[in-house]
Structure 1
Amino acid sequence: MGSITSWGRLEPQPFDPELGGLAARIGDPLWMLSRQWQTGEWQGEDAGSPVGVRMAYETTPVTRYQAGPAASVPLTGDRPWERLAEQPTGVPRQDRRTAATGGRRFLDLLGPLADRYGDQLSRDLPLRALAAGDEADDRSRRVVALLAGRVPDGYALFAALTGAGLPDTVEIRKEDREAVRRIAVDWLSWFGPRVSPDEAGGGWEPQRLAHRFRLAAPVPGGETVLSAPAYRDRRVDWTDFDVVPGDELGAAKDAPVTTGELATLPTGLLFPGMPAPRWWEFEDAVLDFGRVSAAPEDLGRLLLVEFAFVYGNDFHPLPLPVPAGALGRVTSLEVTNSFGETVTIPAASTVDPGWGMFGLTGDDQGWILVPATAADVMDGEPVEEVLFSRDEMANLGWAVEQRAVGASGWTVRRRETRPSEDPGPPAADAVARYRLMTPVPPHWLPLRPVDGGTRLELAGPAPLGDLLTAVAGTGLTSAELPRSGRLVTRRARRARWSDGGTHVWTAHEVRAGRGESTAGLTFDTIERS
C-alpha cells in the first residue's frame, strides 16, 4: 500500500538588507574571525609542511634513429626530430623546376664569368621542354618553354661536375679554372642535398598514411628502444612512442647515463584562478572555475575542477632537469617536513602498478621522454594534396588528387590539367542508349577492396603526384581509412634550431577528411546521346 511522506523545513530568509548572509564584510573583523573558525581554517592538523627536498635522478640522451629497413644512424642533436621523421624517402624525382633553379643558381655564382661560359653551358646542357604527354597546366608549359635553352639543366650539370670538378663539355680557360672550381664546389654543396636522399631516411609508410620510426637510448644494463608506430601530428611528442622490450639498435655502447642530485626548498603549486588558501585573501578573477560547465560523462573536466578547488594547494612542483632529446627518471626522493622528519617518497608505480602519468607504454623502469622538437614551425603552401574517402554507395574508396606536382615541377590543380568532359545538351533526335558505368573525373582514382576487404588497391589511370604513386605501389590498409576520411598534404616546412641554424624539409601532414564522398558514379543507366 502506497503512502505519501511530507515534512516541514525552516529556511531563514532575512528581509533586512543589512544582513549580508555569506558576504564577508571588511569592516567587521570579528565576523571574519568567526567565519574562519566556522570553516575550519583554525583547525590544527597532525602534519608537517615540507621544508626541504632532496632528489637523485638519471638522464640519458637518445643516440640512435632508424626508419624502415635501413640501419640505425647516430643522432647528433643537430636537427629537430620532426625533420627526421617527416623527411622524404628515396631519391627525389627529377623535374624541370629543380633543374632550372639549379642551372640559374650556377650562372649567378659565376658572376662575370657567366658572360664567357653561360651560353655554352645552356647549349651543351639544355633544359628540356615538356613533351606532349607530360601533365601540366598552361602556366607551367609557358614557364618551361621560356626557360628551355636559356639556363643549363641542373641535373645534367650535377652529373658533369661530380666527376672531374669542372664541366667537361665546356673549355675553361686556364686562368679561370681555379675560380670555376671553387664556384662548382659551393654549388655542389647547395644542390647536392636537393637531389640526393638523406642518409637517415624518412619513416613515411604510404600503406598506413603515417610515419613510423624508432629511437634508442643507452640505459644501465643495455638500451631502451622507443617505437613511434603511427606518427601523424605536426609535432613529435612523448605520447607517440612505445617502449619495445628486448629490441636493439646499437645504443648500448653509446654515451653513458648521467647522474645528478638536486636539493631545494619546495614551493606550493600556483595557477591562475586558484582558490585562495586563506579567508583574508582576495582571489584572482581572471579565471572563474565556477562557470565551468561539464556533462556527467565529461570526467576529465570534472576531475580538473575538483583538483583546482580541493587539492590544488596540496601539490608542490619540483623541476627535473632533463635536456631535450633525452630520457630521465627519478631514482630517489626524500622530503623533510617542519618537524624535522625525513620521509622517503616511493614511485607511484611501486605503490599502485595500475596508475601512472607521463610514463611510456611498455616501460617498467620509470623513464620519461623529453623530445627534441622544434619550438615553432612555418608551413608552406601544399605541394600535393590528396583526399581519401569512402563511398558506401559504390562500395569503393576514392583518392581525389586535388593538387600534384607535374613534370614541370610546379604544383598544379588536377581539375585544371585534365578537366572532365562535358557531353553537352542532347540532340533533338537523340536516341536512348544503355551505359554500363558513368565516367568520373580523371583525378578521382578508385580504391577497390582486395584481400577480403583488408586492403584497398588503387585502380584507374596512373596518378600524377608522388604521394599517390607511392600508395599505388603498396596499397592502402582498409583500417587506416575511417568513414570521416583522411586529407593528406605534402608541403615544405621550415624551423630554426637551438644552434641558430635553419632547417627546411618536405613533410606529409595527415588530417581528418570531410566524410564520405561520391563522384556521381552510377551503373546501368539509360541516357540520351
Structure 2
Amino acid sequence: MPFSITRNLGSVIAKKSRPAITIWNRLEGRPRAENFDRALRAEVRDALWMLTRQWQMGEFQGDDAGSPIDVRVHLETTKLQKYQAVLGPVEPFDDQIPLEAHVERMAVPIEQGGHEIALDLRLLLGRQWLKLIRTVSPAPLVAEQFIGRYPIHLPDPRDLDDASTCAHPEAWSSFTAVATRRMDGVKLLDHLASAANHAYDGIPALVGMEGQVDVVAERFVRWFRRVFHQPEGPGAWQKERLEYQFAVSAPYGEVEKVLVAEEYYQGHLDWYNFDVDPARSTLGDVDPAAVPPKPHTLSMLPTQATFNGMPNTRWWRFEDSRTNFGDIKPDTTDLAKLLLIEFGLVFANDWFVVPFTVPAATIAEIQGMAVTNVFGERTWVEAAGRGDDDDWQRWAMFLVSIRGKGHEPADRSLVLPPAARQVLEGRPLEQVMLGRDEMANMVWGIEQTIALPSGDPANGREAAEQTRVFYEADLERRLGAPPEPLPPAEGAKIRYKVMSSVPENWIPLIPVHVAGNNREVQLQRAAMLRIMEGDTAPTPDPVRPRTSLLRPGLEDTPQTGYLLHEEEVPRAGTVVSTSFQRTRWNAGRTFVWLGVRKQTGRGEGSSGLAFDYLADVPPPKD
C-alpha cells in the first residue's frame, strides 16, 4: 500500500472521511494532582455497566457464588489406649510420654565384651549419689567408703583385655585420672537393681541410718529413670531391618482400630507413619473398660482460609509482598509449582476453615458436614477420600492407608499421635555406613564413628589404627624385638599372597542362604582376622565391631550371629547412627533418650580385598 501524506488532518478526522484502525499500546489514567484520594475511591458512575460486564463474562452462571454462613459437622473421636513394640508385650498407651521417646529409646551401653565403658555416665551417676547421700551424712568418711566399694576400673596397658581402652590415649588417660579417686555410680545402680540389696551394704559409716539411706536410694533410681529414658523390655528397634516397628490401637465400636508403623526411622512421628491393619481386630485382649468412640456435633460460622500473598477480594487493596507468585518461574516439568500457582491465584478464596481442637493421642473421623450458604441452600458434604483405598484417582489429605493388597474401603480417620514438636539431636555417638562391594561380593559395615570407653565419639579409622598399633606393640614386647617379615626368594620379583587386608573398622557382611529357602539371601555378620607379621599364634584373633549397631548377639551368652535383610542395603548404601535425643514435653518435663537414625548412603565402594593374588616384590634397598 503506497504511503501518502494527508493534508488538513484535523478536518479529515472530524469528518471521518477516511477509515482507520486505532490501537492503544497502553491506556491508563494520568492524575493531574499530587492527591490520590479521589483516584483511590474507585467511584462507580454506572452500576448497570458493571452488571452487564458480569453477565458478559459469565459470572452469573457460576455455581460457587454462595458463601457458607453456617456449618454443622458430625464426627467421632477415640483415644489410643494400647501400645505394642515389635517384640514386646501389649501395654497401656501412655500419652504423658512423647511417642518418639517411647518408641526410639534404647538401652545406653555400659559394658562391651565384658569391659566397663561409658565413663562419663559412670562419673555422672557417682557425683549425683554422693550429692544425695550428703543430706543423710555429710561426713567425708561416707564418700570415701562409697568410692572404695564402687571404684572406677583402672585399665592395665599390659593386658590385652583392656585394649579397647588403653589403645586410645585420650580414653586411657581419662580412666587413669579418676580410677580409685571417683565413684562408679553405675555399679551402685546395678547393685540396687535387686530388691534384696540396699545402698548401705558394706558401708559401716551409715550404721543406724538405714531408713534414710533407703529413701535417698529410691530418689537416686527415680532420678536416673527420669533423666535417661530407658526401655523396660524389648524395644521397637528391628535390627534385621534397621528400623523401628510398633503398633497402637484404639476402641472402635465392638473391636479396635489397629495402626501399625513398620518403617519408622526418620526421627519424627506423624500420621503418615501409620497404616491401618485390617487383619487385626484387636491388639491383645479386648478391654471391657475401654471408652467407646465419642460423638461430636459442631455448629459454627466458617472462616475463610488465608495465607501470605493471597489475592485480596477487594481489587484496590495490595497483596502481601512476602509471597510473590509472579516471581515463580516453573519449568515445563514442575507440575507441583503450577498447581501451587493455580491454587493461590484461582481457587484460594474457595477454602474455609472449620476449627476443632483434637487432643493428642486421638483418632478423629468426620462422618460428614451440613453447609448452609447465603441463599439458604443446605448441602451435605462427605469426605473426599471415601471409596476404594487402592483407587489411584482417590484424593485425600492427612489420611492413613490400608495395609494389604486387597481393595478395602478407604479409612477416613485422622491420626494425631502425641509426638514431640521439636527434638534436639546430639552429635552421633556411633555411625556405620553400610555399602556394597560388588568386586568382593559382600557388604561392608564401615564404622565411621565409634564411642570410646570414656564416652566420647572418635573417628572409626583412627581408632582402628590405634588398636592395631597397640596389638603390634604387645607382639613386639612378647617377642623381645620388632618382627621381621619373611624375606622373598633370591631373585624373585613377585610374591604370592593368600589375601589382602582392610582397615579394622571395616566389618564384612557376607551373603548367605536362609534355611528352608533357596532364593532369599540375607547378610550375615562375619569377621576379618587380625594377621600380624611374626605372630606365631595358631589361630589369629577375629576383629570384632566396636559399635552397638553391629554387635547384636555378641553380648549374649552364648554368642549368636547377626543377620541383616539384603534389601536394607541398596546400591546407594545406608548410613545408620545413634545419638542422644532431648525434648520438652507438657508440664515442662524433659526427656532424654538414645535413638537411632537411618539415611541413604553415597553409593557403592571398593575395599580392595583380594584373594590368591601376586604382588610385586620391591627392589632391595642400597
User: Shorter-chain-normalised TM-score: which range?
Assistant: 0.7 to 0.9
Equivalent residue, structure 1, for 2:479: none
Equivalent residue, structure 2, for 1:6: none
Equivalent residue, structure 1, for 2:617: 528
Could you tell me which amino acid in structure 2 is paired with residue 95 of structure 1? Answer: I
From 131, 144, 152, the counterpart of 2:183: 152
Q: Deviations over 1:263-288 (max 9, x none)?
A: 11122222222233344333333212
Count of residues in correspondence between the two structures: 515
Deviation at 1:316, TM superposition (A): 1.4
Q: Is the 8 A contact 1:446 1:458 kept in 2?
A: yes
Could you tell me which amino acid in structure 2 is paired with residue 464 of structure 1? Answer: R
Q: Is the 8 A contact 2:101 2:229 kept in 1?
A: no
In 1, the alpha carbon distance for the partners of 2:448 and 2:309 equals 47
Equivalent residue, structure 1, for 2:174: 143
Cα 1:445–1:200 change in 2 (3 A) is: closer
Equivalent residue, structure 2, for 1:95: 117
Deviation at 1:139, TM superposition (A): 0.9
Q: Secondary structure at the match of 1:308?
A: helix
In 2, the alpha carbon distance for the partners of 1:417 and 1:282 equals 63
In 1, the alpha carbon distance for the partners of 2:579 and 2:21 equals 67
Equivalent residue, structure 2, for 1:492: 580
Cα 1:279–1:415 change in 2 (3 A) is: same
From 276, 301, 305, the counterpart of 1:269: 305
Could you tell me which amino acid in structure 2 is paired with residue 149 of structure 1? Answer: T
In 2, the alpha carbon distance for the partners of 1:257 and 1:345 equals 22
In 1, the alpha carbon distance for the partners of 2:445 and 2:300 equals 58
Cα 1:350–1:457 change in 2 (3 A) is: closer
Equivalent residue, structure 1, for 2:426: 380
Cα 1:279–1:127 change in 2 (3 A) is: closer
Equivalent residue, structure 2, for 1:5: none
Equivalent residue, structure 2, for 1:129: 154
In 2, the alpha carbon distance for the partners of 1:63 and 1:176 equals 43
Deviation at 1:372, TM superposition (A): 1.0
In 1, the alpha carbon distance for the partners of 2:608 and 2:21 equals 69
Deviation at 1:76, TM superposition (A): 2.4
TM-score after normalising by structure 1: 0.86
Could you tell me which amino acid in structure 2 is paired with residue 240 of structure 1? Answer: N
From 53, 56, 59, the counterpart of 2:74: 56
Equivalent residue, structure 2, for 1:185: 218
Could you tell me which amino acid in structure 2 is paired with residue 360 of structure 1? Answer: V
Could you tell me which amino acid in structure 2 is paired with residue 332 of structure 1? Answer: G
In 2, the alpha carbon distance for the partners of 1:142 and 1:373 equals 41
Equivalent residue, structure 2, for 1:83: 101
Equivalent residue, structure 1, for 2:140: 115
Equivalent residue, structure 1, for 2:563: 475
Q: Is the 8 A contact 2:80 2:250 kept in 1?
A: yes
Most deviating of 337-346 and 413-422: 413-422
Equivalent residue, structure 2, for 1:3: none
Equivalent residue, structure 2, for 1:370: 416
In 2, the alpha carbon distance for the partners of 1:207 and 1:309 equals 49
Q: Is the 8 A contact 1:165 1:185 kept in 2?
A: no
Deviation at 1:496, TM superposition (A): 0.4
Unmatched tracts of structure 2, length 5 or more:
1-19, 30-37, 403-408, 470-482, 514-518, 528-542, 555-560
Counterpart check, 1:447 vs 2:509 = yes
Cα 1:219–1:166 change in 2 (3 A) is: same
Matches within 5 A, 1:181-260: 181-191=214-224, 198-199=231-232, 201-247=234-280, 248-250=282-284, 253=288, 254-260=290-296
Counterpart check, 1:457 vs 2:482 = no
Cα 1:317–1:92 change in 2 (3 A) is: farther
Equivalent residue, structure 2, for 1:4: none
Q: Deviations over 1:22-61 (max 9, x none)?
A: xxx9578679987996576783246532111011111111
Q: Is the 8 A contact 2:399 2:411 kept in 1?
A: no
In 2, the alpha carbon distance for the partners of 1:471 and 1:305 equals 55
Most deviating of 141-150 and 159-168: 159-168
Deviation at 1:470, TM superposition (A): 2.3
Counterpart check, 1:411 vs 2:457 = yes
From 370, 373, 379, the counterpart of 1:334: 370
In 1, the alpha carbon distance for the partners of 2:202 and 2:131 equals 19
Deviation at 1:82, TM superposition (A): 0.5
TM-score after normalising by structure 2: 0.74
Matches within 5 A, 1:308-323: 308-323=344-359
Percent sequence identity over aligned pairs: 31
Could you tell me which amino acid in structure 2 is paired with residue 357 of structure 1? Answer: M
Deviation at 1:20, TM superposition (A): 4.3
Cα 1:297–1:193 change in 2 (3 A) is: same
Matches within 5 A, 1:401-440: 401-419=447-465, 431-440=493-502
Could you tell me which amino acid in structure 2 is paired with residue 465 of structure 1? Answer: T
**Bigger Cα Rg:** 2
Cα 1:516–1:177 change in 2 (3 A) is: same
Most deviating of 356-365 and 310-319: 356-365
Q: Secondary structure at the match of 1:419?
A: helix
In 1, the alpha carbon distance for the partners of 2:22 and 2:508 equals 74
Q: Secondary structure at the match of 1:505?
A: strand
In 2, the alpha carbon distance for the partners of 1:278 and 1:434 equals 86
In 2, the alpha carbon distance for the partners of 1:382 and 1:166 equals 34
Unmatched tracts of structure 1, length 5 or more:
1-9
Equivalent residue, structure 2, for 1:104: 127
In 2, the alpha carbon distance for the partners of 1:35 and 1:202 equals 69
Q: Secondary structure at the match of 1:172?
A: helix
Q: Deviations over 1:239-278 (max 9, x none)?
A: 1111001412146542322222211112222222223334
Deviation at 1:179, TM superposition (A): 3.7
Counterpart check, 1:361 vs 2:406 = no
Most deviating of 113-122 and 350-359: 350-359
Deviation at 1:430, TM superposition (A): 8.6
Could you tell me which amino acid in structure 2 is paired with residue 273 of structure 1? Answer: G
Q: Secondary structure at the match of 2:552?
A: helix
Cα 1:32–1:484 change in 2 (3 A) is: farther
Cα 1:182–1:305 change in 2 (3 A) is: same
From 169, 174, 196, the counterpart of 2:202: 169
Cα 1:379–1:91 change in 2 (3 A) is: closer
Q: Is the 8 A contact 1:487 1:513 kept in 2?
A: yes
Q: Is the 8 A contact 1:403 1:414 kept in 2?
A: yes
Cα 1:196–1:228 change in 2 (3 A) is: closer
Q: Deviations over 1:391-415 (max 9, x none)?
A: 2333322111122234444433322
Q: Secondary structure at the match of 2:188?
A: helix
From 430, 439, 442, the counterpart of 1:393: 439
